[in-house]
Chain A
């Protein structure tokens, strides 16, 4: 897409804090949960650049809930990639706001219960209630076909940004075999069968489509 050399990224706190070691663009780290605020500040200084945040589920859906909701409501012109692995990976597998009912974690060893921890948060559905965002889609990284679809979603988000549209959001369901206590193939299977059942894939908002 020719975005190298005109893109600025924001890494979160979580396993992807070192995202700047894997992406060859100007990047900064943000404090835990604050990436959308940081990106909003960057956007004010560089209105012509492509800006994105890359955030985990603890970072975005727990400690950073305020920042993401307000950035989305403002229709900030940046893209957020939301890596939902249903667990606090970096700190060693504690329960996340996206951990499924029944799922074991180091702070819910017998599985999460509704009584004790309430229900998992569905972020695409929640953000889709707002009028600010232009594009919201949930994809999964469990098969070659789904990975191709994810790539398309990423491209579409950037295309919308280049076209001057507002907030774009792509949630990517992903595994964390280590903290799920599963082998990689088992983790893929669980994601396909259990996780995607609770977090349905699909487009939750697309103002481009609505306009057609």
Chain B
């Protein structure tokens, strides 16, 4: 066991959730993730599970709702337009406290957009398009291994909080191959074990009090109390699920903020910049909600000239970055959209421009603020 195997992203994702305890898959074909339903249709029946191709994403999310309400560990994968169609269902799952694991292998938008990798679902997955006060934890891994580890853990997180959990990948990660170590398979509850393991589930068994899974609360004071209860849960999630990786922040002159595929690209750019004498650091949010705002306090504000978001969207993450930076340093954006990927060289060149502009501006600003202090200093140098 625990040996490295070379796997294609989408198949590794599917294998990881099965090992994490998922036994039920619901989905509707969409590029760039169709290898996942294909894999599930072959593998799940062999491993005591069930595969069901839904008539639409509306069908898929509601099948998963039934599955989760009945105590099963369900999994749905889709891509951007399909995830859009599931938003109503996600609101219902949150309201009725039903667990499910979701994977968005995102592509370019809006509309039917493109099938190339995109990150323009950032607002969709972190803010949610469903109605009402609800939250869904979102993880954005940057390697197949990290995706495998998170997907393996996700069904447990969903069960613990009785809430959907989402993993956000992109088309590039779905299609590429990397060596991975697969974790040991975890036990999945059988239908006989569910009534005892999940007494709240609608399992149709004589277990004393009957179960009702619902989101309708017609009396406003009852609904308010329920939403308050949900938010106590979300506060717990904020404490326990926040994940971030910070690199090279000390003494950094620019700091990249990037997630998923773009973090890999930013890391390449960091190395190229270092070789050219510009020290770059990176904040890589792994959880997009809860967002790691506190990590931005770790920026070295004495040396950092600009924080740069590197994204495959028109800058949807900037709002969160600004909430973390709190005006302490300028925030800039390097991006491509519509399925276009920047090269690391492109990121390096754009970063150098931003760096020069802000370094010069900082210099001007300082000489305007402290003209007398700086002038003798220069004289001294000359002397």
Check A28/B55 contact, CB under 8 A, given A17-B216, A46-B203: no
Checking A8, A49, A66 against B58 with a beta-carbon cut-off of 8 angstroms, the contacting residue is A66
Contact, CB under 8 Å: B92 / A31? yes
Q: 1/0 per position for A2-34, CB-CB distance to B under 8 A?
A: 000111101100000110100011111111001
Among listed A37-45, A54-62, A133-141, interface-contacting one: A37-45
Interface size class of B (residues with CB under 8 A): 35 or more
Nearest CB on A from B198, distance (A): 10
The complex places the Cα of A196 from the Cα of B61 at a distance, in Å, of 36
Q: How far is the CA of A50 from the CA of B202 in the complex (A)?
A: 12
Contact between B63 and A28 (Cβ–Cβ < 8 Å)?
no
Which chain B residues border A7 with CB–CB below 8 Å? Answer: 204
Q: A5-B205, A26-B210 are in contact. Are A34 and B62 (CB under 8 A)?
A: yes
Query: Out of A24, A30, A66, which one reaches B55, CB within 8 Å?
Result: A66
Do A38 and B204 have beta carbons less than 8 Å apart? Answer: no
Could you say which interface size class chain A belongs to? 35 or more
A70 contacts B by Cβ under 8 Å: yes
Whether A28 pairs with B69 at a CB distance below 8 angstroms is yes
Interface-located stretch among B70-78, B114-122, B275-283, B350-358: B70-78
A67 within 8 A of B: yes
**B204 touches which of A25, A31, A40 (Cβ 8 Å):** A25
Interface check B223, CB cutoff 8 A = no
Q: Measured between alpha carbons, how far is A65 from B64 in the docked complex, in Å?
A: 19
Interface of B is mostly: mixed
Is there an interface contact between A40 and B63, defined as CB atoms closer than 8 Å? yes
What is the CB-to-nearest-CB distance from B77 to chain A, in angstroms, rounded to a whole number? 16
Give the residues in chain B near A42, CB-CB below 8 Å: 66-67, 69-70, 202
Shortest CB-to-CB span from B18 to chain A, Å, is 15
Let me know if A41 and B26 touch, CB within 8 A.
yes
Query: Residue B96 at the A interface, CB < 8 A?
Result: yes
Q: Is the CB of B214 within 8 A of A38?
A: no
User: Cβ of B56: which chain A residues have Cβ within 8 Å of it?
Assistant: 66
Q: For A45, list chain B residues within 8 Å (CB).
A: 24, 66-67, 70-72, 191, 194, 203
Residues of A within 8 A of B203 (CB): 8, 26, 45-46, 49
Contact residues of B with A, CB < 8 Å? 24, 26, 50, 52, 54-56, 58-60, 62-72, 74, 88-89, 92, 96, 191, 194, 202-206, 210-216
6 residue pairs, one from A and one from B, having the closest CB atoms: A41-B66, A38-B66, A45-B72, A37-B62, A41-B67, A28-B213
A and B contact pairs by CB, cutoff 8 A, 18 listed: A5-B206, A17-B216, A25-B210, A27-B202, A29-B213, A29-B214, A29-B215, A31-B62, A34-B59, A41-B66, A41-B72, A44-B52, A45-B191, A45-B203, A46-B203, A46-B204, A49-B204, A66-B55
A interface list, Cβ under 8 A from B: 5-8, 10-11, 17-18, 20, 24-31, 34, 37-51, 66-67, 69-70
